[in-house]
């Protein structure tokens, strides 16, 4: 009889315990890659600037995130001098848990180092940083279209970037 009572109790406790579990825990980070173009703020000095970037961020408190980004910058088109930007960023996502079909606006910024891709370009790099904002449009549960506008302050350029975010 004891075995029957224990079996009946377990029969009711196990489904109740599994139903109490959170089926969709909040994600703790995301990664992204972007491509884009920009132009110089100081006139015609750099008529075309291309950029390719990838990065990621982990959320530390609500929408506040810490992350890093590596960026390739081609100044002046395919024949221009290339540069690399590495930055450590803070971000704030206003709708971190945006559902499928929802928008997640954010701001991002942080210090970095920018330098030539090849030593033959001269110089060893300079202190730099990135600041901007944009939005993720979550077209599926784990994938979003990322659109942002940012400014790299070592070379005053505004970049318009589009890419994908994964969580």
The verdict on residue 54 lying in a domain is yes
- Buried residues in 129-139 as b, exposed as e (16+ CB within 10 A): bbebebbbbbe
Per-residue pLDDT tens, the chain, 167 aa: give them: 677 677 666 666 666 555 555 555 567 889 999 998 887 655 545 556 788 899 999 999 988 999 999 988 876 655 666 778 889 999 999 988 888 888 999 999 999 888 775 555 556 677 888 899 999 999 998 899 999 998 876 566 788 999 999 98
**DSSP-based three-state secondary structure for 141:** coil
Query: Residue 20: inside a domain, yes or no?
Result: no
What pLDDT score was predicted for residue 116?
73
Residue 44's pLDDT is 47
Considering its fold, how many domains does the chain have in total?
A: 1
Beta bridge partners of residue 74, listed in sequence order: 50, 82
Residues with Cβ within 8 Å of 123's Cβ and at least 6 positions away in sequence, in order, are 115, 116
- Whether 1 maps to a domain, the answer reads no
Structural domain includes residue 60: yes
Rounded to two decimals, what is the model's pTM?
Answer: 0.74
Report the CATH number that the domain containing residue 117 is assigned in CATH.
2.40.160.20
Give domain status of residue 85, yes or no.
Answer: yes
DSSP readout, 84-116? EEEEEEEEEETTTT--TT-EEEEEEEEEEEEEE
Q: Is residue 22 part of a domain?
A: no
Residue span of the structural domain in which 96 resides: 31-166
Answer whether residue 151 is part of any domain. Answer: yes
- Would residue 150 count as lying in a domain? yes
């Amino acid at each position: 009889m004891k075995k029957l009572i224990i079996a009946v109790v377990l029969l009711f406790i196990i489904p109740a315990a599994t139903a109490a579990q959170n089926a969709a825990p909040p994600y703790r980070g995301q990664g992204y890659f972007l491509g884009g173009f920009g132009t110089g703020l100081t006139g015609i000095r750099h008529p075309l600037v291309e950029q390719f970037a990838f990065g990621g961020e982990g959320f530390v408190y609500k929408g506040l995130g810490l992350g890093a980004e590596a960026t390739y910058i081609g100044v002046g088109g395919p024949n221009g001098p290339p540069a690399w930007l590495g930055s450590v960023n803070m971000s704030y996502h206003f709708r971190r848990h945006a559902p499928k079909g929802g928008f997640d606006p954010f701001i991002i910024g942080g210090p970095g180092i920018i330098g030539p891709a090849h030593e033959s370009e001269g110089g060893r790099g300079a202190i730099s940083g990135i600041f901007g904002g944009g939005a993720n449009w979550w077209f599926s549960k784990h994938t979003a279209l990322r659109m942002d506008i940012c400014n790299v302050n070592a070379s005053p350029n505004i970049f318009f970037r589009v890419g994908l975010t994964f969580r």
